[in-house]
Amino acid sequence: MTPELRQLIGELRADLVEDEPASLEYAHFGEGAAIDAVPAGLPTDLRDLLLVADGLRAGLVELASTSTLAGIQYHLDHAPDFSTIPEDRAGWLVIGTCGDDPILMDRGTGAVWYFPPTGTEWFMSDTFEELAPDLGSFVDYYVLGPGYAELTPSDDLWFAFLDEQGLLDDEEDESP
């Protein structure tokens, strides 16, 4: 995780806290986890994120905390057969959700994957795609930037917050 992304998460957390309780309706960034609370064996990018924000809810995107990470791995049991997940379940980690759909990390590469909307439930989907080459890029573009609108079906309070913060206007941001 870049120092700039760490700083941005800290600044956004402070802005959200300042606007509580109203901001709790659409977002919450947990304080960083204690080093000994982060489960062993996690990919470095995820470990770094948990040390900065132990759980992050931003509109429809929710990234797991140290206490909820193990509880969302059940999504792996329902992965469609066409995906590589059933063949190599240990190679994948569910790191969060977008609505009810899982967001996964390839443990080998660190890339972030999802089942894009196809008009059917994710577990019956015939499409599984890489969203970002790493977790930092995913958080920066899809959670805290203009890519959020690509993941969600409509404008919501998180989208409005990102717009107020000027995070949707940066023409230099490009999809990872």
pLDDT in tens, 31-82: 999 999 999 999 999 999 999 999 999 999 999 999 999 999 999 999 998 8
Q: Is the pLDDT of residue 176 over 90?
A: no
Any domain includes 173: no
- Report which of 123, 135, 162, 114 is spatially closest to residue 53, judged by C-alpha positions: 135
Q: Which domain holds residue 145?
A: 3-164
pLDDT for the residue 22: 92
Is residue 61 one of the residues assigned to a domain? Answer: yes
| Count of domains for the chain | 1
Q: Domain containing 119 — which CATH number?
A: 3.40.1580.10
Whether 150 is covered by a domain: the verdict is yes
Encode pLDDT of 132-150 as tens digits: 999 999 999 999 999 999 9
Assess if residue 176 is contained within a domain. Answer: no
Is the separation of the CB atoms in 37 and 45 below 8 Å?
no
